[in-house]
Amino acid sequence: MKGIKLKRFKIKVFGSQGKVLGKGLSEEHTAFLHNLLTNDIKSMKDGTLTYNLMLRQNGSPIRDFFVYKLGNYYILDTDEHPNSLIPELEKLKLSLRVYFEKLPYEHLLIFGNGAREYIKETFGLELEPQSLKSLDNLIVARNDLRIKEEAYEIMGQNLPEVPAQYIDEEDLEDLRIAKGIPAIGKELKEGFSPLEACLGGIAISFTKGCYVGQEAIARVYYKGRLPRALAQLEVDKGVQEGQEIVDQEGQRVGLITSVSPKSSLALGYILREKVKEGVTYTAGDKRVRLLKVYECQEEKPKPKAGTLLLGPKKPL
């Protein structure tokens, strides 16, 4: 069993019952998050979690969150310090009666052989994927989305001592790149659609209706196959994030977005028309070899009669 103490922050989001909030929404804090984030917040059940993005109007990602629902409030899990994030959220809520509270929680992630057994023996829990339970002063969650495998999170104050083999931030970054998990500021940034990172259906709901950036996402989604693909690469030592990938004819065909601090693996985007696994490209004077391209598996919902090609758009 492996473990790591994540450097993440927690913000409690709560609010008041609303009188005029649109269909299916009775809480102002639920309406606020539902209209701001890319996943279907209003359909979340108590004791569940979802992965979400916050977008610009043009569809470019600017933040990501895991959202945990506990009773009549939510917890946002973020890598951004609450002292800078909460004032931004305060501006965005406008007249809605929504409140934010910084939580002094620690966050432990455990995974691998023995993790499930530890959770069962210590807390008496057998959790379904993307579910959680509040126990005294702790929250225990099963979050298989964070590292694309069965993994458990223990959050709160005074966390128990867990007999795990602890890894560091560099190990976690190497694992992220090896599994092709996109990160904010790297694969998820200005000029790139989160659909290129295969987050449709994971971080993005195509049926929830309006949210910031929804029209830009729907326009790209219904257009069909994207021109760029997220790829796993093998790179020479010295290749840097942000370097352009050049083919044998000297044409720019992609961009390096992440480089592992512990191995020769990297992530980047490649033009689909230039994709050929095993081919060697260059970044500066260094070699870049394409190992594999991540193919997105989400299935497009069929638009209802009379729906614009911008995508299905339901009233709130």
Based on the domain organization, do 22 and 147 belong to the same domain?
yes
Q: Which of 161, 160, 153, 176 is nearest to 77 (CA)?
A: 153
Based on the domain organization, do 316 and 235 belong to the same domain?
yes
- The domain that holds 127 is classified in CATH as 3.30.1360.120
For 158-173, how does the pLDDT look when each residue is reduced to its tens digit (9 = 90+)? 999 999 999 999 999 9
For 49-65, how does the pLDDT look when each residue is reduced to its tens digit (9 = 90+)? 999 999 999 999 999 99
Checking DSSP bridges between strand 151-156 and strand 106-111, what pairing results, if any? antiparallel
Of 140, 166, 192, the domain-final residue: 166
Based on the domain organization, do 180 and 128 belong to the same domain?
no
Position 102 pLDDT exceeds 90 = yes
Which whole-number Å values give the CA distances from 109 to 6, 309, 311, in the listed order? 7, 41, 37
For 185-240, how does the pLDDT look when each residue is reduced to its tens digit (9 = 90+)? 999 999 999 999 999 989 999 988 889 999 999 988 888 778 899 999 999 999 99
The arithmetic mean of pLDDT across residues 77-99, rounded, is 96
Based on the domain organization, do 181 and 141 belong to the same domain?
no
Based on the domain organization, do 294 and 274 belong to the same domain?
yes
Based on the domain organization, do 289 and 198 belong to the same domain?
yes
Based on the domain organization, do 88 and 196 belong to the same domain?
no
Based on the domain organization, do 179 and 137 belong to the same domain?
no
Three-state DSSP class for 29? helix
Quote the number of domains for the chain. 2
Question: pTM for the whole thing?
Answer: 0.90
With cut-offs at 50, 70 and 90, classify the pLDDT of residue 66. Answer: very high
Position 312 pLDDT exceeds 70 = no
Position 308 pLDDT exceeds 50 = no
The pLDDT score that the predictor gives to residue 221 is 87
Based on the domain organization, do 106 and 223 belong to the same domain?
no
Of 116, 149, 166, the domain-final residue: 166
Based on the domain organization, do 155 and 211 belong to the same domain?
no
Based on the domain organization, do 96 and 225 belong to the same domain?
no
Domain ranges, residue 34: 2-166
Lowest mean pLDDT among 12-21, 85-94, 219-228, 270-279: 12-21
The pLDDT score that the predictor gives to residue 313 is 37
Residue by residue, DSSP assigns 88-152 as HHHHHTTTS-EEEEEE--EEEEEESTTHHHHHHHHH---PPTTEEEEETTEEEEE-STTTTS-EE
Based on the domain organization, do 88 and 143 belong to the same domain?
yes
For 245-277, how does the pLDDT look when each residue is reduced to its tens digit (9 = 90+)? 999 999 999 999 999 999 999 999 999 998 887
Of 143, 166, 189, the domain-final residue: 166
